[in-house]
Structure 1
Amino acid sequence: MATARTIRSSEPSSRKASPDIRPSARPELHVMSGGKDTDRDGSGASRFTRFIAWASSRRAPAIRVVIAVVILVSTLLCALVLRTQMIQNSFDSSRLEASISSLTQDVQDDQAKLNQLQASLPQKATDMGMIPQQGSVSIDLKGYKSNGERK
């Protein structure tokens, strides 16, 4: 770089700078009071304002910081939504399992009641005066004639 300056300084000064070329702006320095990590009032407000001032003084890194913050926040929100959905599904599943077990118990109770009623059926029939069937009975309808056919 030193040789470049000597070459430029040795050029004739009669040459005028073009209006398109402007000297680059120098960064401004600011005096900051207080320590690095401490605030006078104990809040993070001045840290935040210092961060914003730092980010706004550098355009390209500020965009990167914003993009990184957006990605982090969206990742956290997606994780929260997925976790909430998983908990909801788990709650629904446990509720359905409880309902299935209740219905299974009801079916078993009804089956036990039916078996008890079937077991008491012969006694009830006897109490009503019915008698059990003795042997098998068969009816032969081959020789049957209706009332209209008898003569």
Structure 2
Amino acid sequence: MYAQLLMDLFKFLTPFLRNAELTKPAQLLYKGTLRVLLVLLHDFPEFLCDYHYAFCDVIPPNCIQMRNLVLSAFPRNMRLPDPFTPNLKVDMLSDIAHPPRIMTDFASMIQPVSFQKVGCLSLVLPLKTEYCVDT
């Protein structure tokens, strides 16, 4: 419910943020949205982690700061490695084996429904065309 409200806020802001010049009310709403994201990042980072895909999908592409706030969230129980460690091997970290938790329903995002059926069939059935040549 809260995620949907935030996504609606991002969608509402989109037409205002397309212009380089923001009106005073749009500026205040944008700054307020950034503050809400900062509070969520500080107090509920797991919420931003869980819904990062849906949020980044509706945040306008020119809102880099807003997108960075969402993408900088990480769970409280995770400890980030020091990026200045010499010879740091990211693939050797134990936390990289855990996939991120994503609460967004990806199947409903694939549009239209007929595409979902064709996509599922192409994963199951082998491709048979005259253009495929075995060498």
TM-score with structure 1 length normalisation? 0.20
- What is the TM-score with the length of structure 2 in the denominator? 0.22
Higher relative contact order (CA 8 A, sep 6+): 2
Larger Rg: 1
